[in-house]
Structure 1
Amino acid sequence: MAEQLIIAGKRQDAAEGATFSVTEPATGKPLADVAKASAVDVDLALAAAHAAFADGRGTWARTNATQRGRVLHRVAELLREREDLFATTEARGAGHPMGDARWEVGAAAGTFEYYAGAANKHFGQVVPVQDAGLDVVLREPVGPVALIVPWNFPLLIACWKLAPALACGNPVILKPASLTPLTALLLGDLLVDAGIPEDQVYVLPGPGGVIGDALVADHRTAKISFTGETTTGASILKSSADHIARVSLELGGKSAAVVFADADVAAAAADTPMAVFGNAGQDCCARSRILVERPVYDEFLEHFTATTKAIRLGDPLDDATEMGPMISAAQRQTSLDYLGIGTGEGARVVTGGEVPDREGFYLTPAVVADVGNDMRIAREEIFGPVASVIPFDGEEEAIRISNDSDYGLSGSLWTGNATRAIRVAKSLRTGTLSVNTNRSVRFEAPFGGYKKSGLGRELGMGAMDAYTEVKNVFFSE
């Protein structure tokens, strides 16, 4: 029996009765059949969500913030209780190694805990004004929100959007990627079990060109939060323009890890591989451009290559696995195509880029040396396990090469000089930067990009602003 979609908190078949098959990346075989929502289901969901919100007079919107926080705490508790189910589903559906999948469930729970605490700490203000009276600024929920998430981190990114949206009192319509809808459906059930009113919860699996487009273009969608590739993000801006929907976009990346000669080169080389090859390189924040100062280029490349070769590629359900399969045969082929493009441009594959003799969509992590920043392999987002190692001479060139990109999502800076760290960090045009580490995201802090990497920020207290409207009320004496 196919997994059903969720409208107003209840599982049901798609209105047109269609289904689609989800493939397990580790085997290349069917994993589940899922109800395929259509524009009819979008209309049903938006009609119900709009009625539930009722111009801010709906039950959830008017529930006091402290009580909303208690319910979100319960969501976190249930996520921890159901860790095995969610982690196994994510491992099988998205190809994430079990160790990573378990961590993601914990991080998802932590995100809900954070916004549970934030719910009654996000408030307006009283403003001193020149007129006699009282001026009050209110923060009110924006209305039905469309949350469109990608296939690379389906559970975690869904929670980054759901938690602040619900904390602010909004109905949520979650659109998972067609490749990875299973944890989204589990999450919809869990929200209702935790006490979110049924009429606030909607999960619509199906093709983005149908479901996403219908959600974005409908005037009843008050807010759109999208994570995905840049071309789709631009399309969303155009489609939502007629009804001036609020839009947040977290888009592509071609992030740089900059390693200066005064850094701990061995530590940088040991830490950086999983900043590229984690989730088989399918990460917007992947440090796929590794800039190394020329005096230590050969030393870094040697250590980096050795660490890369030691990465344990294998079955996601094996606790020893560090890197699982890619999401699909097509995504793997894209990486192989770029490796061919890179060598054609004069770069050198040092290791990896091979298809193992096993079922599933596996590709060994590839290190490509002697890359120039003008090469396509250094400029275009590959979204696969391909690392381009680029030499540079001096601080000025490092900054120039780092910033010479259409993207600006994340990045790392490795140096033993604190003054240089401050100076270069202020010069790099990227939304998130880590010094002497490669970890990108902390749910307590804002996350998002410059340039074509997006608009707005997720996470941190600032995310609460994205799911509320500001109202100014003046009371005359």
Structure 2
Amino acid sequence: MSALPFDGHAIAPETQAFLASTHQLLIGGAWVEGSGELAVTDPATGLELTRVQTGGAAEVDRAVIAARRAFDGPWSRMTVAERTALMHRLARIMEQHATLLTQLDILDNGMPGFIAGLTTANCVEMIDYYAGAIMRIEGTTTAPPRHIATETEALTYTLREPVGVVGQIVPWNVPLSTAILKLAPALAAGCTVILKPSEETPLSVLALGQMVLDAGFPAGVVNIVNGLGAEAGAAIAAHPGIDKVSFTGSTATGRRIVSAALGNLKKVSLELGGKSPVVIMPDADLSLAIPGVAMATFFLQGQNCMAGTRIFAHADIHDELVAGLAAFAGAMTLGHGLDPATMQGPMISDAHTAKVMGYIEGARESGATLVAGGARLDRPGNFVQPTIYTDCRPDMALVREEIFGPVMAVDPGTGATDG
């Protein structure tokens, strides 16, 4: 394994110790060996951070057995007050190790530090929120009409019950935050969980796994199976012992998960891609709109399903808006997330960088006008300049498809001064 380079920026001793440790699978309340191994790299430098053990169908099966045992046993017998206390305890442990969680997402994902710090704090808040929500899970009782023929009455009521064993497949773009968004409500509802972090960014989820153990959750309530999507992810989607699967990622993978889930008609929740529009009207305050529109696209390197990448600008303010956006993009600092000055970090991988650059080059070939960026930086890591195109037509891939990168398409619109 290579030495650990962070562009001259120090990391906490706890983070250094975590990277140097062995990373296994969490199944049935214990760290166990996997059947494979993957290297985890720093996308800002391209160099190896650590290695994690991985699993496939066999390890998923073991995790399902452990999760079912916990669901049928100690977890279902806990009172709501006991589950609430456990989740609050987990939140306090996460607070104590906030630097570790933040730095792992920076190193593993490449996100700027100001984003990673905010998401870690938000994750603690989400755990506390759902811990309180446990106390508010309740059914309803309604008074039905009497049966006309017999004049008898009936009791009609609803009771909210946990789904059961839940498989949760986490994306790489906001690893810890998305994991908590899935994990916290599932635990609050009384479910047990099998988490599969992305093979690109498993580290903060693995650190979270140890915190779950330290908080005292019963064995098997939370299981973590690292692995490739085509192996561990596919096994989770198809497993007959899993009652629900929650997936965040690409639309193509979402379709495969729906097909795989048909085997036992498991419930499915999907959060897939998007191509969000931003509309700027002629009375907009451009001093506020320009940074807001720019960051809507370039936030998190554009690797965000909510990124506002289609900009519809009224003709009256189009040219001034574009000039301001180009200036903003040109002034953005690209660098390692550990550098406090960094506004935009790297793409997640070489392969994803190539995909984003393909869209950038394709837009130029399609006749769009490049006004900012448009290049991969000639330096270590996967850095793509914040890029802006104008003269974009609705038929262009730049406008129609999710790029998942820092690429903006501006439409001059058809507005007129008197319109």
Name the larger-Rg structure. Answer: 2
Q: C-alpha displacement at 1:394, in angstroms?
A: 4.3
Tell me which residue corresponds to 1:20.
38
Q: Return 5+ residue gaps in structure 1 as ranges.
A: 399-477
Structure 1 stretch displaced more, 31-40 or 128-137: 128-137
Specify which of 341, 352, 367 is matched with residue 320 of structure 1.
341
Equivalent-residue separation in structure 2 for 1:79 and 1:293 (angstroms): 46
Spell out, residue by residue over 1:138-193, the C-alpha distance to the aligned partner (whole angstroms, 9 max, x if none).
00111010010100011000000000000011111001110001111111111121
Q: Does 1:122 align with 2:140?
A: no
CA contact (8 A) 1:53 1:61 kept: yes
Q: C-alpha displacement at 1:323, in angstroms?
A: 0.9
Equivalent-residue separation in structure 1 for 2:390 and 2:251 (angstroms): 27
Specify which of 32, 35, 49 is matched with residue 31 of structure 1.
49
CA contact (8 A) 1:276 1:385 kept: yes
Equivalent-residue separation in structure 2 for 1:23 and 1:282 (angstroms): 18
Tell me which residue corresponds to 2:257.
236
Q: C-alpha displacement at 1:133, in angstroms?
A: 4.0
Tell me which residue corresponds to 1:110.
125
Secondary structure in 1 matching 2:90: helix
Equivalent-residue separation in structure 1 for 2:117 and 2:141 (angstroms): 44
Spell out, residue by residue over 1:304-346, the C-alpha distance to the aligned partner (whole angstroms, 9 max, x if none).
1111111111111111111111111111111111111111111
Equivalent-residue separation in structure 2 for 1:232 and 1:73 (angstroms): 34
Q: Does 1:5 align with 2:20?
A: no
CA contact (8 A) 2:167 2:242 kept: yes
Tell me which residue corresponds to 1:245.
266
Q: C-alpha displacement at 1:60, in angstroms?
A: 1.5
Specify which of 244, 259, 262 is matched with residue 283 of structure 2.
262
Spell out, residue by residue over 1:42-86, the C-alpha distance to the aligned partner (whole angstroms, 9 max, x if none).
1111111112222xxx22123222321222112211111111101
CA contact (8 A) 1:229 1:252 kept: yes
Tell me which residue corresponds to 1:470.
none
Q: Does 1:63 align with 2:90?
A: no
Matched to 2:343, the amino acid is E
Tell me which residue corresponds to 1:88.
103
CA contact (8 A) 2:294 2:329 kept: yes
CA contact (8 A) 1:62 1:169 kept: no
Q: With the length of structure 2 as denominator, give the TM-score of the two structures.
A: 0.91
Equivalent-residue separation in structure 1 for 2:38 and 2:389 (angstroms): 38
Tell me which residue corresponds to 1:275.
296
CA contact (8 A) 2:388 2:409 kept: yes
1:156-305 alignment to 2 at 5 Å? 156-305=177-326
CA contact (8 A) 2:335 2:345 kept: yes
1:348-387 alignment to 2 at 5 Å? 348-387=369-408
Structure 1 stretch displaced more, 156-165 or 109-118: 109-118
Q: Does 1:145 align with 2:190?
A: no
Tell me which residue corresponds to 1:100.
115
Equivalent-residue separation in structure 1 for 2:307 and 2:29 (angstroms): 35
CA contact (8 A) 1:53 1:143 kept: yes
Tell me which residue corresponds to 2:5.
none
Q: Does 1:47 align with 2:65?
A: yes
Equivalent-residue separation in structure 1 for 2:396 and 2:377 (angstroms): 27
Secondary structure in 2 matching 1:140: coil
Q: Return 5+ residue gaps in structure 2 as ranges.
A: 1-20, 147-152
Root mean square deviation, CA, Å:
1.5
Q: C-alpha displacement at 1:2, in angstroms?
A: 3.8
Secondary structure in 2 matching 1:34: strand
Q: C-alpha displacement at 1:135, in angstroms?
A: 2.3
Q: With the length of structure 1 as denominator, give the TM-score of the two structures.
A: 0.80
Matched to 1:88, the amino acid is Q
Matched to 1:390, the amino acid is D
Equivalent-residue separation in structure 1 for 2:257 and 2:143 (angstroms): 39
Matched to 2:31, the amino acid is R
- Identity, in percent, stands at 39
Secondary structure in 2 matching 1:139: coil
Equivalent-residue separation in structure 2 for 1:201 and 1:385 (angstroms): 35
Matched to 2:328, the amino acid is T
Secondary structure in 2 matching 1:294: coil
Q: C-alpha displacement at 1:118, in angstroms?
A: 0.7
Secondary structure in 2 matching 1:146: strand
